[in-house]
Amino acid sequence: MHTTTELRIVAAIATTFLLPTSTPAQTIDEIIVTADFRGRAASDLPASITILEADEIEQLAVQHFEELVNAIPNLSWSGDGHRARYFQIRGVGELEQYQGAPNPSVGFLIDDIDFSGIGGIATLFDLQQVEVLRGPQGTRYGANALAGLIYMQSVLPTPEWGGRLRLMVGGDDALAAGLALGGPMTSDGRLMFRMSAHQHRSNGFRDNTFLGRDDTNVRDETTIRARLRWLVNDDLSVDLATMFADIDNGYDAFALDNSYTVLSDKPGKDAQKSIGASLRVEFDGWSGATLTSITAVADSDIEFSYDADWGSDDSWAPVLYDYISISDRKRQTISQEFRVAKKGWITGVYAMRLEDELVTVNQGDYYDPFYDYADSLDDTFASQYEASSIAIFGQYEHEIGSATRLSFGLRAERRTTDYDDTADLRAGPSETMSGGELSLSHKHSAAVTSFVSLSKGYKAGGFNLGLVPDDRREFSSEELWNIEVGVKSAWRDSTLHINASVFLSRRDDQQVRTSFQLVPGDPASFVFFTDNAAKGDTVGFEADVRWTPTDAWTMYVNVGLLDATFDEFQTPQVDLSGREQAHAPDYTLAMGASYHHASGIFARLDLTARDAFFFDVSHDQKSKPYELVNARIGYEVDVWSVQLWARNLFDKQYAVRGFYFGNEPPDFPNTLYTRAGDPRQVGVTLNRSF
């Protein structure tokens, strides 16, 4: 009944907005996909993709990429940590990584810098575009993009002076300020720059009644970006992008009663400090071919700690029950890509070096006076991991007549690794993997293009740490085959865009990350390991509809349908054969409308909905379906704008992560503990462009 009432209110507001107007319709501009080899128009790419440009990003979110997730079909995130860093595309993707070798299924790049698996630094100020490519990207990105790719691009320098100032104040004691500036550095405009700095702080929507604080889950996020673009001559261009991110967030998100009131006596942190740079050089003056070089480096220090018992002495008295876990991770990456492109074909080579160091400290004490039982834990674990990847790739396109294009791509990758830890485990598996795609697209008219594609993605195998069964020490590589049929169309003088696709995927030797608790009563004794399922099957549908009937109005609907299941797979606790995969809801929906009057008044309303999903593969607990409503209203004149916004307008409580285990002495009954998503937040944002 509550949900029905909310939807009726939303419909009433939308109906109020939808007034007749005779203002001419505005054509929707074509969008270029920067994550593709050739920088093609989105309508020419034979794949399912969602692209959000700067204006849309600012209207849909306040601070972080996780706020955009619900607007993108068949994209999910695991709330394992303060900010989203683990993503699932079409049900494929990791839920966490506490130990072991990094092995992401979803690629995550910011300005060509690889942050796959550590995407907590994905703040949004001064971004030009966000692209989400769904399905395996075997030719373009290889082993780190089995499920797809998320690509974020900051604003490019231009030869004209310009910039922006943003100030924000909101609920949860939120304060933010950002400044961006760019323009020419030489009189001829061939050397340009862009710089931006942004700082955001809020309390994190938790009240710690034991410590008497409301900031133990604090958000303290600083991002600095700088870009240079040098058009050396008509044939040579050089683009340098650098970034520094200091995400100094607290981590105190779980409550024993699944509320926003926490009781921990030792709140943790989910902090990441990263510095990265990329250098892209393009040369067009070699026999009609384009030579491209992309160099990228990144250095990240990550602290992840938490109060493992989620309580205090008062919570468990007269039992003494006090555990903490602290992990410090250092990750460095360097990559180099060279490629040559000529009409009809591309060939290239890619190399990447990754170093990952981890130190984890688990400490705790337990004493039960009724049974006179005591136990303590003081364990330090350290590991070092190095991986080198070398890949060669190629893509060929052939025009069949004037309206049909055949495309074929292939990538072969060799990965070598070296791992050792303080538990005397040493491993160095190496393997050769391959992937690619075959697609056929046909332009039925200037407005309608259809495509069919067959693609293969791959992901490296590896090894498990700790006290795992002998037959689960190693796991093999995984392959994902995907068949997709889609249509991309523009109607009514290009004011109405309808894009849709259906897909069927099969995962062979599917890797599944699962866990179980070795010692009841010891919340730090979870064993996490990866295993191979026989196979997994996924069938789904994705569509986005965008209509701009007048200059004043824009309306959209994004929908994803998904049926992602395991086949003949069993964990130590449950049999998952035939069960849906984790964080793979049957439907995702986003719809909304925006209105901008010639006087400067504007308004926007967005509704997102998500079906129930399984929280993990180690148990059968599910979330509940939920709907969220966001709204904005404001005024814009000349270079100024001010807007009042509300996220989660109806203050819906919903879960973004769930664990099922025993955490309450003395009996430690298995209980579902969920992390709640952000409650209602209302704020005001002031923008000035110049």
The mean pLDDT value for 467-484 works out to: 83
Using alpha carbons, list the distances in angstroms from residue 250 to 193, 208, 218, 228, 619. Answer: 34, 12, 5, 34, 28
Residue 284 banded pLDDT, cuts 50, 70, 90 = very high
Between 237 and 661, the higher pLDDT residue:
237
Q: Copy the structure tokens of residue 3.
A: 């949900």
Mean pLDDT computed over 53-66: 95
Parse the chain into domains and list their residue ranges.
2-30+162-689
Average pLDDT over residues 631-640: 96
Are 348 and 410 spatial neighbours (Cβ–Cβ below 8 Å)? Answer: no
Q: What is the pLDDT of residue 286?
A: 86
Q: Average pLDDT, whole number, for the chain?
A: 91
Which pairing describes strands 553-567 and 587-596: parallel, antiparallel, or unpaired?
antiparallel
pLDDT category at 12 given cuts 50, 70, 90 is very low
> pLDDT tens digit string along 571-593?
666 678 888 999 999 999 999 99
C-alpha dihedral, 163 to 169 to 171 to 172, nearest 10°: 80
Write out pLDDT tens, residues 185-204.
Answer: 999 999 999 999 999 999 99
3-state secondary structure 144-197: HHCCEEEEEEECCCCCCCEEEEEEEEECCCEEEEEEEEEEECCCCCCEEEEEEE
What average pLDDT score do residues 243-272 get?
96
pLDDT the model gives residue 425: 87
pLDDT exceeds 50 at position 641: yes
The secondary structure of residue 379, as a DSSP letter, is: E
* Pairwise CA distance, residues 544 & 516, whole Å: 40
Read off the tokens for 328: 């410090």
pLDDT score of 16 more than 50: no
pLDDT at 633 over 80: yes
Residue 588 CA to residue 607 CA, distance in Å, equals: 11
pLDDT of residue 37: 84
pLDDT of residue 11: 46
Nearest Cα neighbor of 482 from 124, 148, 31 is 148
Q: Above 90 in pLDDT, residue 443?
A: yes
With H, G, I as helix, E, B as strand and everything else as coil, classify residue 246. Answer: strand
| pLDDT tens-digit series, residues 508-546 | 888 887 766 656 666 656 666 787 876 789 999 999 999
Integer CA distances (angstroms), 559 to 9, 459, 609, in order: 21, 28, 9
Check residue 542 and give its pLDDT: 98
Which structure tokens are listed for 261? Answer: 């009131």
**2-30+162-689, what's its fold?**
Maltoporin; Chain A (2.40.170)
Q: Distance between CA 617 and CA 620 in Å, rounded? A: 7
**What mean pLDDT comes out for the span 50-65?**
95
With a cut of 60, say whether residue 476 has pLDDT above it: yes
